[in-house]
């Protein structure tokens, strides 16, 4: 938690802080099954894993109403541009903290992030206390993505 004290910013440890956590980044084109695989991994892996979708968090913030953050996210998404990395990292950190507080989870499957080197640099700068164990990158031929856009392949 950050507080303002005598013209300076001071960081105060509180119950809201996120303890060091383990992260797996899950990447792939839309339709490759990132979300589906994260749900399956969450169910099947030992330990308490939380699935967070960067896209879902951004859409939730965009749709949360009015305000500068919602307006900025809305304008970037409408233009097909990437939302500033610092915002996405902050949304992920808030979701991780909320999950940790609610469930005790310190293991996270982060779907759809990072999407660029700049995203990764912002993550590394802000989230030094957390360990990225590895990256899962799902690849799928485009013809399969277009042939089966709404069907689950088993």
The two structure tokens encoding residue 95: 């979701």
pLDDT at residue 14 in the model: 41
N- to C-terminal Cα separation, the chain = 45
pLDDT tens, residue by residue, 113-143: 999 999 999 999 999 999 999 999 999 888 7
pLDDT at residue 151 in the model: 54
pLDDT at residue 89 in the model: 97
Q: CB atoms < 10 A from the CB of 139, how many? A: 8
pLDDT at residue 152 in the model: 52
pLDDT at residue 146 in the model: 64
Rounded Cα–Cα distance for residues 90 and 84 (Å): 10
- Domain 22-147 is found in CATH 1.10.3720.10: no
Residue in this structure with the two tokens 């308490």, named with its chain if needed: 48
Residues of the chain with pLDDT under 70: 1-16, 146-154
SS3 call for 153 = coil
pLDDT at residue 64 in the model: 87
pLDDT at residue 110 in the model: 98
pLDDT at residue 16 in the model: 67
């Amino acid at each position: 938690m950050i507080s303002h004290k005598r013209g300076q910013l001071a960081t105060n440890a509180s119950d809201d802080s996120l303890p060091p956590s383990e992260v797996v980044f899950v990447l792939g084109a839309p339709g490759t099954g990132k979300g589906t695989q994260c749900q399956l991994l969450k169910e099947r892996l030992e330990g308490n894993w939380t699935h967070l979708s960067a896209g879902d968090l951004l859409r939730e913030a965009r749709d949360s109403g009015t305000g500068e953050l919602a307006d900025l996210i809305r304008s970037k998404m409408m233009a097909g541009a990437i939302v500033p990395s610092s915002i996405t990292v902050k949304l992920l950190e808030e979701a991780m903290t909320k999950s940790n507080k609610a469930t005790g989870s310190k293991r996270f499957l982060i779907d759809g992030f990072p999407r660029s080197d700049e995203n990764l640099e912002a993550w590394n700068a802000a989230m030094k206390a957390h360990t990225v164990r590895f990256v899962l990158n799902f690849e799928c031929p485009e013809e399969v993505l277009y042939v089966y856009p709404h069907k689950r392949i088993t």
